[in-house]
A and B are shown apart, each in its own frame.
Chain A
Amino acid sequence: DAKTTQPNSMESNEEEPVHLPCNHSTISGTDYIHWYRQLPSQGPEYVIHGLTSNVNNRMASLAIAEDRKSSTLILHRATLRDAAVYYCILRGDAGTSYGKLTFGQGTILTVHP
């Protein structure tokens, strides 16, 4: 399965934008890029996903590099409620990795008031 690499931790101030990077140099053509976050003592929560084009939703934006070897999750205005572990995951659409989510260690985001 293709792997992702994320920084262990990042910090931000409240109401500032946050850019969370993710490298996935071995991504295959059928892998979708998913982002989830996990607040303390809760289950993971879906944030956003994309294949090739940049994506926006009410929670965040996803910027995907042209070669698809990296992506960036953008939180436009961080709030204290955004403090969580953020996981960048490749979800396969073919073969033995079809449909599976393989979680790495994620990035711990700390938001300062």
Chain B
Amino acid sequence: NAGVTQTPKFQVLKTGQSMTLQCAQDMNHEYMSWYRQDPGMGLRLIHYSVGAGITDQGEVPNGYNVSRSTTEDFPLRLLSAAPSQTSVYFCASSELRRYRGLNGYTFGSGTRLTVV
């Protein structure tokens, strides 16, 4: 089925470890983004991309890196994990049709990350 695929679904890291959260979409969407959601909170934007080779920072980018080498993939790298990065991470994608109406995002099912 078409959609946004996130891996892994669950991950436990030790403080200081690094890892990459994977996100792939098969809808040829130009726009991709990463959000984090802390307990009882709304989603906060980490990084986003409007196309291959183009990325930009969102609201809470510190401690995270992204790259966009293909339209389909948008991995999120945690450089040195900290307990404050314990959260649920969501990847989302969307078509990007300026001035013709922006369509809705499709979200992945999330990665639940715990840093101990």
Q: Are B45 and A44 in contact (CB under 8 A)?
A: no
Q: Are A99 and B96 in contact (CB under 8 A)?
A: yes
Q: Are B42 and A106 in contact (CB under 8 A)?
A: yes
- Rounded to whole Å, the gap between the CB of A23 and the closest CB of chain B is 16
Q: Measured between alpha carbons, how far is A93 from B110 in the docked complex, in Å?
A: 26
Q: Are A100 and B42 in contact (CB under 8 A)?
A: no
Partner of B104, one of A34, A43, A93: A34
- Rounded to whole Å, the gap between the CB of A55 and the closest CB of chain B is 11
Q: Are B105 and A101 in contact (CB under 8 A)?
A: yes
Q: Is A105 in contact with chain B by the CB < 8 A criterion?
A: yes
- Rounded to whole Å, the gap between the CB of A99 and the closest CB of chain B is 5
The bracket for how many chain B residues form the interface is 20 to 34
Total of A-B residue pairs, C-beta within 8 Å: 60
Partner of B48, one of A42, A44, A91, A99: A99
Q: Is B102 in contact with chain A by the CB < 8 A criterion?
A: yes
Q: List 15 A-B contacts (CB under 8 A).
A: A32-B102, A43-B90, A43-B110, A45-B107, A46-B104, A46-B106, A47-B104, A49-B102, A49-B104, A98-B98, A99-B31, A99-B48, A99-B94, A101-B33, A103-B43
Show the binding face of B for A, using Cβ within 8 Å: 31, 33, 35, 41-45, 48, 50, 58-59, 90, 92, 94, 96, 98-99, 101-110
Beyond the given pairs A100-B58, A101-B92, 16 more chain A to chain B contacts, judged by CB atoms under 8 angstroms and listed by A's residue number, are A32-B102, A43-B92, A43-B107, A43-B108, A43-B110, A44-B105, A46-B104, A93-B98, A99-B48, A99-B50, A100-B45, A100-B48, A101-B45, A102-B45, A103-B44, A104-B42
